[in-house]
Amino acid sequence: MRKEFYTTNDYVHIYNRGNRKQLIVHDVKDRERFLKALFYFNSETTPINPFQSRASLNNLVWLKSWPTHKPIVKILNFILMPNHFHLILKEVKEGGIAKFMQRLGTGVTMYYNTKYKESGRLFQGVYKAKCVNDDLYLKYLSVYIQFKNTFELYPGGLKKAIREFDKAYSWAKDYQYGSLGDFVGMKNRGIINKDIFVELFSNLKEYKDFARDCMVNMDLDELLSEERLET
């Protein structure tokens, strides 16, 4: 069993990619399933067949007939890319991150292998994890996940997104498979928790301005070299 180096109340960057850099999602249903897994697997007790609730991605619900919803982690940011994902998690129950990630990895792999008639592992290996102990680093990491990764999917690519920052920012807020829209209040899907960022940024304009400065004037890949995946 993996020995974790973090404990309750720690902030941790979690990331992983497909085995041999393969795609981990192919269509809208795959992407929606991944995000629903973030919601349904984050509880001390997971409901039986939660995906049969048929809740839409914009209206995720925890049914009254299910065991009480008691989150084991706080999900602060996320991005789902075609062949990898990033999460910022806060452990709120001892062993919560390990339990949550075991459920997520197993659940996503079983779904993928069943749907695409595959076998074996979907991900490259055990998820990567880095404990975040510095507020500034956490700010940079949030921009890396919610802006840089999402901007890479912007029509025309990352460089165009940086040139058209305001337009790309609006586009990124609408992107369903990242957390920026939830973070700025455009969506309220119940997946993420924004507590720490209320402390780090006085308002959303400050966060947007900080992100703009990072994207235009800094090399986030260099600042966060240990977090970067060669995709």
Reported as a single tens digit per residue, the pLDDT across 103-133 is: 999 999 999 999 999 999 999 989 999 999 9
Check if the beta carbon of residue 189 is closer than 8 Å to that of residue 39.
yes
76, 192 contact by CB (below 8 A): yes
The pLDDT-based confidence of 54 (bands split at 50, 70, 90) is: confident
Backbone angles phi, psi at 8, to 5 degrees: -55, 135
Sign of CA dihedral 218, 15, 154, 182: negative
Place of tokens 């509880």: 43
pLDDT the model gives residue 172: 98
Q: Among all chains, which residue has been given the structure tokens 């709120």?
A: 92
Domain edges within the chain? 11-130, 134-225
Quote the DSSP letter at residue 192: B
| Average pLDDT estimate for 86-96 | 96
Contact 183, 143 (CB under 8 A): no
Q: How confident is the model at residue 53 (pLDDT cuts 50, 70, 90)?
A: confident
Give phi and psi for 109, each to the nearest 5: -65, -45
Amino acid at 33: R
Residue 57 confidence (pLDDT) above 70: yes
Q: Please work out, in degrees rounded to the nearest 5, the angle formed at the alpha carbon of residue 191 by the alpha carbons of 85 and 195.
A: 100
pTM for the whole structure: 0.93
Q: Is the pLDDT of residue 99 over 60?
A: yes
* CATH code, 11-130: 3.30.70.1290
Chain segment 201-230, per-residue pLDDT in tens? 999 999 999 999 999 999 998 888 765 555
